[in-house]
Chain A
């Protein structure tokens, strides 16, 4: 079943076309990657899928429901994490997680917070203020926040960008396990091509606001007649 269906999304900001005719679907248990050079329209696309930006045309359906008309129902089963977002810096990590557990309307906030703290191995950070954490630690807290409501769709913008290789590897494995075992769908942007190759079932390349290629990592490499995804990226970026 399609968790996410975006159909012919378009967005212009004044004279600039940010996104044009973007259509994509993400199925249950699928990890999809959205790649492209800076300014390709990835963030605008993600923000339209989350209802932060209203498309000029096109539609977004999540779990078969129109996002605009069923915002509260839909967003209770979606979550988002992005490196460029912050969390209230003066709060302790446990206070942040408690607040978001409630904002997502969880039945048992304390119990679920304890579970995600275990998953992300951040027990030692609970009593520390967010502002005092390293960027890698903050990323883990963001990911913990993103898992609180056991989202059926998880949207991640550069999920492991600030993590060291060991922690990055653990987080990637955790995310892949979550998708495989619980059928969670994920949509990920990343500039780490090895990460995308390892994690994503399907990859969409964006350039100048459009999806210019889609497929598995192997299919894309074959289509572009190159060895790997990194070279596909370079070809797309330099076209």
Chain B
């Protein structure tokens, strides 16, 4: 006999599962869990501080050296690039780590038997990653100012679209990395750490893409980060915000996110069909 929805009576315990309140509650479950996990993992807190600090110190001294060689704008451009790169790097890694922690603790199946939807799960991971990105960038920005006299706010109002565009790109790369782990198993988790670095040489993070071979320049034009980092160099060089570049990056971000979500949907379906999802519980 086929019964309608009235056969799943509302209970006093559970919010109506499709309501906005229930969705917010489930997303808050992911965020609170990850925040608690961070609070109880001193090593992970150390890691948030350690890597950005090392990167900033190394590049900071490189800029000091180049500045002494009278290369114009070098401090602001390199340190600006380091700070913006951290946004992309962190946004990508933190979302992927949130997912990997479910695998490492053999908790992934528990998550997949909750009413949590894919959108809610990814939203929770993204909101949590945002808190870490903000903390990390604030810390690096302060250090850059104190050590090298570079204020990230000198980028001005352009900082808002730059950061937003890089965050979205980082999240879409994380979803691709998660999909790879779902498809190929735990052995593929190295992709979660390294995928973002594929984009570092192509996107012209520390140099203009004009130095790349012409074929790679074409490839670079399809990477949202290329437009952001070139835009940053333009702004720090005294030009106005290149809105045409920002629009191109935003359009590319939309395509990247759509492709990443489609890939995740397909790989999750495949993982269920092939029994791979179950194996994450073994």
Chain A residues close to B by CB (< 8 Å)? 1, 11, 13, 18, 43-44, 47, 50-54, 63-65, 70-80, 82, 84-92, 95-96, 98-107, 109, 112, 129, 145, 149-150
Cβ-defined partner of A13 (8 Å) among B3, B7, B115, B275: B275
Cβ-defined partner of A64 (8 Å) among B7, B21, B101, B113: B7
Chain B residues lying within 8 Å of A76, measured Cβ to Cβ, are 14, 17, 22, 115
Compute how far the CA of A82 lies from the CA of B106 in the bound complex, rounded to whole angstroms.
Answer: 11
Q: Nearest chain-A residue to B8 (Cβ)?
A: A63
Question: Of B24-32, B80-88, B241-249, which binds chain A?
Answer: B24-32
A92 and B40 contacting across the interface, CB-CB below 8 Å: yes
Q: Nearest chain-B residue to A87 (Cβ)?
A: B107
Chain A residues lying within 8 Å of B107, measured Cβ to Cβ, are 85-88
B241-282 contact mask (Cβ, 8 Å, vs A): 1 or 0: 000000000000000000000000000010011110110011
B282 and A72 contacting across the interface, CB-CB below 8 Å: no
| Residue of A65, A91, A105 with most chain B CB atoms under a 10 A cut-off | A105
Compute how far the CA of A63 lies from the CA of B4 in the bound complex, rounded to whole angstroms.
Answer: 9
**B214 contacts chain A at the CB level, 8 A cutoff:** no
Q: What 6 additional pairs, Cβ within 8 angstroms, besides A11-B275, A102-B26, A105-B22?
A: A51-B113, A90-B37, A95-B33, A99-B32, A102-B28, A105-B115
Cβ-defined partner of A80 (8 Å) among B40, B41, B110: B110
B101 and A52 contacting across the interface, CB-CB below 8 Å: no
**B2 contacts chain A at the CB level, 8 A cutoff:** yes
Give the interface SS of chain A, mostly helix, strand, loop or mixed: mixed
Chain B residues lying within 8 Å of A103, measured Cβ to Cβ, are 26, 29-30, 111, 114-116
A-B CB contact pairs (8 Å), 24 listed: A52-B278, A54-B269, A65-B7, A71-B117, A73-B18, A75-B114, A75-B115, A76-B14, A76-B22, A86-B106, A88-B107, A95-B33, A96-B33, A99-B29, A99-B32, A102-B26, A103-B111, A104-B29, A105-B15, A105-B22, A105-B26, A107-B13, A150-B11, A150-B13
A220 to nearest B CB, angstroms? 28
**B1 contacts chain A at the CB level, 8 A cutoff:** yes
Q: Which of B32-60 contact A (CB under 8 A)?
A: 32-33, 36-37, 40-41
B281 and A85 contacting across the interface, CB-CB below 8 Å: yes
Chain B residues lying within 8 Å of A92, measured Cβ to Cβ, are 36, 40
B273 and A54 contacting across the interface, CB-CB below 8 Å: yes
A43 and B7 contacting across the interface, CB-CB below 8 Å: no
Bin chain B's interface residue count: 35 or more
Chain A residues lying within 8 Å of B111, measured Cβ to Cβ, are 103
CB-based closest 4 A-B pairs: A64-B3, A102-B29, A86-B106, A105-B22
B36 and A99 contacting across the interface, CB-CB below 8 Å: yes
A72 and B12 contacting across the interface, CB-CB below 8 Å: no
A52 and B32 contacting across the interface, CB-CB below 8 Å: no
Compute how far the CA of A71 lies from the CA of B273 in the bound complex, rounded to whole angstroms.
Answer: 16
**B109 contacts chain A at the CB level, 8 A cutoff:** yes
Chain A residues lying within 8 Å of B40, measured Cβ to Cβ, are 90-92, 129
Chain A residues lying within 8 Å of B115, measured Cβ to Cβ, are 71-76, 103-105
Chain A residues lying within 8 Å of B22, measured Cβ to Cβ, are 76, 105
Chain B residues lying within 8 Å of A85, measured Cβ to Cβ, are 106-107, 109-110, 281
Chain B residues lying within 8 Å of A70, measured Cβ to Cβ, are 5
Q: Nearest chain-A residue to B112 (Cβ)?
A: A52
Q: Which of B94-153 contact A (CB under 8 A)?
A: 101-102, 105-107, 109-117
Known: A107-B15, A150-B13. A91 touches B36 (CB 8 A): yes
A100 and B113 contacting across the interface, CB-CB below 8 Å: no
A99 and B278 contacting across the interface, CB-CB below 8 Å: no
Chain A residues lying within 8 Å of B18, measured Cβ to Cβ, are 72-73
A86 and B105 contacting across the interface, CB-CB below 8 Å: yes
A96 to nearest B CB, angstroms? 8
B14 and A72 contacting across the interface, CB-CB below 8 Å: no
